[in-house]
């Protein structure tokens, strides 16, 4: 049996025999690969394009969340009513997975979507302005010297982003109403999550439905109460929930790995240095049930 068939067999055992250990192992491998390729930006002294400035941080946070999800699937160890217990926390790993889907969407929007460099820079400035204006609106005590200096720093960054927007041809060609909206954006993105699900292909893979479902956990809505009763009191099994969470994050992580190798030569070089298993696992999850995800 070839190595690729051997690793594909692991995927089959994970998906069809509910062998979570195989899925966990694959996510651990992919997350480690993600960290290695992210580190390559530093090692190769990459100076990313303006709109790519947040990529390194977002990749690291994505990998960190993967590790948290793995630990939550393995189960929290604690004392309960005098007994030592290990209980998977499905509420937290579903909330975190919703965050991972949103993280992928914003990275697709800022870094990967097939639009011009100028539009990507414009999107990034809008994204920054929305956040900085929101931060400036927080009611914080600015009596200390450090607080005043931080506020001045935020204001300086905000002013620069606003100037960038005004110089961009997208702004120059916009209507007066649009210009006002660009300078005081209500949202960090210029398009809806629905459009991003479609343009990224995630909607065709059913990720939009999972994103909607998992919002019930993030917002403590009644559906999460009902699913708690089903999982903990009726089924008393976490395997199906854990398996789906692993699959979602395996697919997203493989996509991030492939995308970074397309953007940076150093990442592509480091990808080739990965073990055979790591490269095969990336390839399997990049293509498995994922033909339509860009």
Q: Tell me, letter by letter, the H, E, C secondary structure of 209-227.
A: HHHHHHHHHHCCCHHHHHH
The answer to whether the predicted template modeling score (pTM) of the entire model surpasses 0.85 is yes
Burial class (CB in 10 A: 0-12, 13-18, 19+), 176: exposed
What is the DSSP-derived secondary structure letter of residue 44? T
Kindly give, in sequence order, each residue whose CB lies less than 8 Å from that of residue 196, ignoring residues fewer than 6 positions away: 105, 108, 109, 113, 189, 202
The b-or-e profile of 158-174 (16+ CB within 10 A means b, else e) is: beebbebbeebebbeee
Each residue's pLDDT, cut to its tens digit, for the chain (294 residues) gives 577 788 888 888 887 888 899 999 999 999 999 999 999 999 999 999 999 999 999 999 999 999 999 999 999 888 888 898 888 888 899 999 999 999 999 999 999 999 999 999 999 999 999 999 999 888 766 677 887 888 899 999 999 999 999 999 999 999 999 999 999 999 999 999 999 999 999 988 889 988 888 887 766 667 666 766 666 655 566 888 899 999 999 999 999 999 999 999 999 999 999 999 999 999 999 987 544 454
CA gap 167, 136 in Å, rounded: 23
Q: What angle do CA 150, 156, 160 make, to 5 degrees?
A: 145
Give alpha helix (H) positions in 168-238. Answer: 169-172, 176-183, 193-200, 207-218, 222-228
- 271 neighbors 37 (Cβ within 8 angstroms): yes
Residue 80 φ/ψ, nearest 5 degrees: -135, 115
Query: Where do the DSSP E strands lie in 10-113?
Result: 76-80, 83-87
Kindly give, in sequence order, each residue whose CB lies less than 8 Å from that of residue 261, ignoring residues fewer than 6 positions away: 37, 267, 268, 271
281, 285, 284, 274: which is closest to 252 by C-alpha? 285
CA gap 48, 225 in Å, rounded: 44
Helix (H, G, I), strand (E, B) or coil at 142: coil
């Amino acid at each position: 049996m070839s190595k690729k068939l051997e690793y594909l067999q692991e995927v089959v055992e994970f998906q069809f025999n509910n062998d979570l250990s195989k899925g966990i192992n694959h996510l651990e491998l992919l997350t480690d690969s993600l960290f290695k390729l992210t580190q390559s930006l530093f090692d190769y002294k990459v100076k990313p394009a303006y709109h790519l400035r947040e990529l390194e941080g977002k990749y690291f946070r994505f990998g960190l969340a993967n590790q948290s999800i793995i630990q939550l699937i393995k189960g929290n160890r604690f004392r309960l009513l005098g007994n030592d217990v290990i209980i998977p926390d499905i509420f937290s790993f579903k909330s975190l997975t919703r965050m991972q889907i949103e993280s992928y969407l914003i990275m697709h929007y800022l870094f990967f979507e097939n639009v011009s460099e100028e539009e990507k820079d414009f999107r990034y400035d809008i994204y920054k302005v929305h956040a900085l204006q929101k931060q400036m609106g927080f009611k914080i005590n600015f009596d200390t010297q450090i607080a005043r200096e931080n506020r001045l720093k935020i204001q300086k960054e905000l002013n620069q982003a606003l100037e960038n927007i005004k110089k961009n041809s997208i702004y120059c060609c916009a209507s007066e109403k649009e210009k006002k909206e660009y300078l005081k954006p209500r949202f960090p993105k210029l398009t809806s999550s629905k459009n991003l699900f479609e343009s990224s292909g995630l909607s065709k893979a059913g990720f939009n439905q999972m994103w909607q479902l998992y919002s019930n956990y993030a917002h403590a809505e009644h559906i999460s109460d009902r699913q708690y009763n089903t999982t903990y009191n009726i089924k008393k099994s976490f395997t199906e929930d854990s398996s789906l969470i692993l699959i979602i994050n395996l697919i997203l992580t493989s996509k991030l790995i492939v995308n970074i190798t397309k953007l940076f030569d150093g990442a592509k070089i480091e990808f080739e240095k990965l073990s055979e298993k790591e490269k095969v696992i990336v390839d399997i999850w990049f293509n498995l049930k994922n033909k339509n995800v860009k």
